[in-house]
Each structure stands twice: as C-alpha cells, then as structure tokens.
A and B are shown apart, each in its own frame.
Chain A
Amino acid sequence: MAVVGPGIITAFADNDAGGVATYTTSAATFGYLSLTTLIPITIVLIVTQEIGARIAIVTGKGLGDLIRERFGVRVAVLIFSILFLVNYGVILQNMSGLKSAIQLFGLPYTLFLPLLLFGLSIVIVKANYKKIQQFFFILIFFYAAYIISAYLAQPNWSLAITSIVIPRGEPSFSFLFTSIAVLGTTVTAWGQFFINSYVKDKKLTIHDLSYSVWEVRIGALLTNTFSFFMMVAVIATLFANQIIITDAADAAMAMRPLAGNLAGSLFGAGLLIAGLLGLAIVPLSTAYAFSEFFGYQGTLNDDFKQSKLFYIFYLIQIVLGFVVVMIPSFSLFKITLIADFCNGLMLPVLFYFLYRIANNEELLGNQTNSRFMNFLLIGSGLIITFGTITGLLGKIFGW
C-alpha cells in the first residue's frame, strides 16, 4: 500500500477541468463513437506514466534533474520556460473551469473563487506530503459523482460498453482531430514532469518498482473508467438530443432538463473537483520542475521556510491565474486552443527526452525500455505531432 499515490493521482489529475471539457465536447459531438478512443488513450497513458515512474524510482531523480544533468543548462532553461507557459495555460483552463462550476451552483465567484484558492494554497503550503496525498484522495473520491450522473441519465448500457471496442459510426477527419485533442489533454507535459517528481518526493526504492508500475496501470485504468461514465452521461443526454456545447459547464447546465437537476449538479460538482485537483497539481509540477532544473530544495515535506522558492513558485502561479480569470472579457476558448496546441508541441520533445533517458543503460541499468514501449512512445509522439500541426492548420484555414 505504501506505493499507492503517484500513479492514481497523476492519472486523475489528467482529467482536470480542461480534460473534462475535451471529453465532454467529444462525447456530445460524436456520441458512442467517441468511446472507442478510451482504450488507445489508456495504453498511451500507461506507457508514458510507467516510464516516468520507472525513471524516478531507479535514478531517484526527477525529469527536470535528468534533463539539466544530461543536456545542460541551455536546454534546461528553454524547456522550463516552455513548461511554465504551457502550464500557465492549463492553470487558466482549470481556474475558469472552477469559476464556471461555482456559477453553476448559483454562487458569486468573486467571493468563492478566492476563498477556494486560499484554502487550497494553505493545504499545499502547510500540510506535509502524506496529508496532501490524503487530500488528493478525498478529491478523487468525489469523481464518483460522474458514475451517479451517468446512472441518472439512463443510457443504453450494453450499447455503451460494446462501443468501447466496436466503433459506432463513420470515423471522420474531424473525429480524428478531436480524438488527438482528447489524447493531448490526457497525456500532458506537466503530467510527465509530475509523475517523476511526485514519485521522487515519495522516496520509493527499487524494491517498490514492480508494485509502483502496477499502481500506475491501475491509476490509468481507473481514470479512464471514470472518463467512460462521464462520457456516457453526456452521450445519453446531450448527444441523444443533438445539443451542441463548447465546455463542461454548458454540458452540466444542458443536462438538468434532460436527466434531472441532480444529474446536472453532480456533473457540475465533478467539474469543481477536477478544477481543484488541476489547480493543486499543475502549479506543483511547475514548482517541482523549477526546483529540479535549478537545484533548489523542493519537497512537500518541507515547511515554507525550508523550501521557500518552491512554494513561492506555486503561489505565484495561482495568483497570476486568478488575476487573469477575474478579467471579465477573458476568453477561455482562445486560451484552451493555445494551451492545447503548446502542450501538443511540447509532448513530442518530452518524449524524445524520455526516450533518451529511458534507454540509457548507464542510468537505468537493466530497467531500460522494452522494444514495445519504445514503439508506443515514438508512435504516440508522432501521432500527437501530426495531430497538433494539422489541427492548428485546420483551425486557421477552417477545414
């Protein structure tokens, strides 16, 4: 049980507010066909997270540490700058997700958003690793809201379950792009850094390796099971009634008259939790990466004074995000597009580093990547690059 944590938490955080939005849009637009993306996504998530966890356990170092030590300071500064920007985009996504979730419940966000953020910051700064992990697990528990929400929507369960393996409907180009976008919000740049840092901070040893690998696999499976329920809830209501939505809050709102107030509210609660989890973990991944790249002390077990820069980095991102989200004319749609695009561009670069590090015998000894893993890593890297570039071109030229 001691190894439980990193895999599950990172995987669930991959379904942050931005993730929920992409899954919801995909499900509302393509219906049961969208469920066929779940298995490939789970596999890619398992492979990339497993490689990250393995590197962290065997070397005792984070991805930031390794990139700095193997590729030098110039590469480190470059990668960190991009990561900071990409993560900032993701933070904005989560923060506005949280904001719309608060509004869904008819609460004034000018009061509740700062309150929630303040509470969150207190937990991250004051609590130690163990307490924070418990906090994460409490948040994750509330993802169960999606299961109830799906149940209340009264879907065709047998059709839904068989759709996971049997494609229902004509796969089109726009479906392909949406699927790649879904992959891009599940397998993320920050997730890649976070799993490494978080495993390192947990101080797991080589004896924990096999258990930890299983924990990562279970985490990815669980996450995508919840994604399944979330998508099913959307399909049974919005897709069935041909309602087009652009974000998760819209979906929750539209669900109320179709599946009842409770289903819509639970869906909204899921979004709230997803936003909170994202806002805890994404800025943490930047803060960890900063500590690793530039060698400062950075662990959740330290108090504020001991890991000052680490915590300051966390808080700065929350404040920066909050300031922008409070601007009334702020457009989430544009930010989401840009953030997803940058994330998509950064992932192949990170996969390159993962490939180089995970195949280095000097670092990993006999724990280097298998050929199958390399195939999947390179393959998904190529697919994401292709999807990102064509996706952007499509947005520009209106394909």
Chain B
Amino acid sequence: MRYLSELLHKQVITTSKQSLGYLSDCVFVASETPYITKIQIQTKHNQHILYPVQAVKAINGTIVVEQCLEAVLSENEVFLVGNVLDKQVIDIKGKNIVRVNDIVIQDKPELIVSGIDIGVLGITRWFGLEKQVRFITRFCKLPLTDRLLPWSEIQPLELTRGKVVLNREEDKLKAIEPEDLADYLEKTTIHNALKILGLVTDETASEVIQNLHITYQTQIVHRMSPHNLARIITTADPDEAVDLLQALSHDKREETLQLLTTAKRDELTYLLSFTHTQIGELMTTEFLTFQPTMSIKKVIEKIRRESIGFDNLAYGYVLNTKQQLIGVFSMHELLMQSPDTLIMKCMTQNVVVTYLSTPRSVALKRMVKYRLRALPVIDEHRKILGIVTLDDMIEPLVTGEV
C-alpha cells in the first residue's frame, strides 16, 4: 500500500538512467475497480507528458520507466491530482464532509486506487511530519486515528463530473463494528475484502479476520503476504493466532513465524505443538501464575503489570516451588480480601482441571457443572500448559463448525 504523497514529485528516469522530469499526476479509470492506467510527467521544460503504466518498471526510490510512446487520455479516465486530491468530499445528501487529504494506492499486483484519506494525518504526511505528529498525539494520549474511506464508498460516475461524492450519508460512515465488517466482507469478493482489510488498522483487521467464517478466513489468509499476516497475528489473541497459522501451508507458516518477535514466536510455536488434540486446539496462554506466599497486594500488582492486552482474566493459578498447580482463585475472591492476606489463605485448593487428551464435551460439561469460565490444562506432572475458556469452547457449537 502506498500513499500518493509518497509518490508525487518523485523523479522519473528511464531504464537507461536518463532523467525525464517529475511525477506530476496519475490517470485512472473512474469505475468500480479504479486501475491506474497512465502517469503524468512534468518535464524540465514544464511540459506534461503521459506514459502508460505498463512502462513503469519500479516505483521505489525513483520511478523508473521504459522509453516509449506517449499515451493519450481515453474516455472515462480522470486525473488523481487534478480531479480527486484536495477536492471537497460530499456525502449523498450534498453535505460537505471533508477534503481529500491523500490517496491510498495499492501497488501489488497492479496499481489500483484503493481509497482516500480524509484524516488530519493525511495533511501532516505532505509535510513529512506524519511520524512526529503520531508520536506527539500518542504521547499526549490524543486519539488521532487514520480516517480512510475505501473506494467502494465513492461514486465513480460523479468523478467524471468533477465531484467526489459518497454513496452514503456521513453519519453512517462512523466506525463500523468488526463483526459487521466481517459480515459485509463475506458477501463481497476476496479481492475487495483484501483491499478493505488493507485500509483499516492492524487491530481492526485482526478482529475482523477472527470474526470471519472459517472457510472464508482460510481463503483470506492464503492470499495475504507473510508480512501482513505477521502484523495481524501480533495483535490477535493467542488462540485465534494459532487458528490463523494453522490455516496456512507449512512453508508460509514458518515464514510468518520468522517475522514475529521471539517471545511471540515461542508462545505460538508452543501452542501450535498441542493443536493435534481437541483441547490443545483451543488452548491459550493468556493466564497468570502466582506463588502461594504472595500477598494480595503483590498479586494485584502483578496482574496490573502483566495482563495488559489480555482478552480476559477470570482466574489466577497458584503454583508450588515445583511449578505444580496447587490452587486457584477467581478475581471476585481476590477483590474481597484485605491487601496483606497471603494468597494461599484464600485460594481454592481443589482445582478443577482438564488434560490435553480430555474430549471437548467432557471438559465443557465440567465447566458447566462447576460454573467455571476457564479450565487449566495440565500434564501428568500437574504442570500447567495453558487454559481453555468457556467462550472459545462454546463458539464452535454456536457457529456449527463441530
């Protein structure tokens, strides 16, 4: 994915290293799939010439083109800078929303306009200050997010009339929930779905993918590059990340794993090693363990420190010096104690557990019977391997994937 601001005014040279001038505009087809067909070059003599996009050999650093005949504008073709950039965006009711601050271009496999940037960050990008502004706003805890509109929101017909018009009302553009976006994506083509996923933040993309139907999920991850996958997997819950990895071929899975941080890679490899069993497949490593001699105060401090980013934390597990599971406490029990009490005084010693080999139905019945929201998975030495949560257990039953 590229921004127009990164490409515009770049030097254009021929394959024989001869300078032609600067990239001054791009021509694209005003249609459902807006392929970029030509590039416009401003020569040193201030003339504008059009080159077909097929002549473009590289767009990294300088733009390299093959020497060829000049192209001419055909019907239904419009300019990116001339007709879209900086223009007023109007919603279907004619209300001015904002201006086109930048344009998002998909560069693989072909150059296609994939959306417009209407956020403040789009403006900062033209000054080369995007990173700095992002840093400052994050530092000040201001929520400055990207505001991108996918191309599917724009009426191509109006573009030829010199207007950027959306096909819906402004209010309806407001943050679409990942679950809804997933539903929507399942109805569109894989091609479109990938484009839209490229436009949202990694967190959203990972949530959306997790919400997709399993067969569709598989199709999507197969088409994504290991690089993008790695980014999405980093933000996903461990058990969901394992699902995504499992959908990949062996080679691609290894390639993706290599792109992750060491800690994340170890965690996921560990979880992957249990996926041959029914329970192992659902197991996650989002749990915390404590020593029996810790005070309630210390326990709470550890939870605050180490459970950042956890999806859920229903129980804490207490281990003895041999790392064996000897007790469990719920968050509610924890809250009821005074700060100086030792955790061993208030934990439940009779821990309900499951093993990797336990059938799912048995584990689920156990959870229902004892009203537990998660079960620790232990091995024959009572060492804790991971936990399974109630919602992960129930999900396949609800979506009918058993």
Contact = CB atoms under 8 A, between A and B. Distances in A.
A72 B122 CA distance: 13
A65 B88 contact: yes
B370 interface: no
B86 A68 contact: yes
B97 A297 contact: yes
Interface in B90-126: 95-99, 101, 118, 123, 126
A77 B101 CA distance: 12
A30 B88 CA distance: 50
Nearest to B89: A295
A296 interface: yes
A73 interface: yes
A16 B345 CA distance: 79
A119 to B, nearest CB: 29
B127 interface: yes
A105 interface: no
Contacts of B101: 73
Contacts of A294: 98-99, 123
A305 interface: no
Contacts, number: 36
A357 B97 CA distance: 24
Given A65-B88, A72-B86, A296 B123 contact: no
Which of B85, B86, B87, B95 neighbours the largest number of chain A CB atoms within 10 Å of its CB? Answer: B86
Contact of B123 (A65, A69, A73): A73
A294 B123 CA distance: 9
A221 B127 CA distance: 44
A74 interface: yes
A295 B99 CA distance: 5
Given A65-B88, A68-B86, A73-B86, A295 B98 contact: yes
Interface string A68-82: 110011101100000
A233 B204 CA distance: 70
B95 A77 contact: no
Contacts of B123: 73, 77, 294
In the complex, which range does the number of interface residues on chain B fall in?
10 to 19
A2 to B, nearest CB: 22
A291 B89 CA distance: 13
Interface string A51-77: 000000000000001001100111011
Interface in A274-331: 291, 294-298
A291 to B, nearest CB: 8
Given A297-B95, A297-B96, A74 B87 contact: no
A295 B85 CA distance: 12
A281 B95 CA distance: 24
Given A294-B98, A295-B98, A74 B127 contact: yes
A87 B98 CA distance: 24
A296 B127 contact: no
A296 B86 contact: no
A296 B87 contact: no
Contacts of A76: 86
B98 A69 contact: no
A295 B126 contact: no
A297 B98 CA distance: 8
Contacts of B126: 72-74
Given A74-B126, A295-B97, A296-B96, 15 more contacts: A68-B86, A68-B99, A69-B86, A69-B87, A69-B88, A72-B85, A72-B86, A73-B86, A73-B123, A76-B86, A77-B127, A295-B89, A295-B98, A297-B97, A298-B96
24 contacts: A68-B86, A69-B86, A69-B87, A69-B88, A72-B85, A72-B86, A72-B126, A73-B86, A73-B126, A74-B126, A74-B127, A76-B86, A77-B127, A291-B96, A294-B99, A295-B89, A295-B98, A295-B99, A295-B118, A296-B96, A296-B98, A297-B96, A297-B97, A298-B96
Interface of A: 65, 68-69, 72-74, 76-77, 291, 294-298
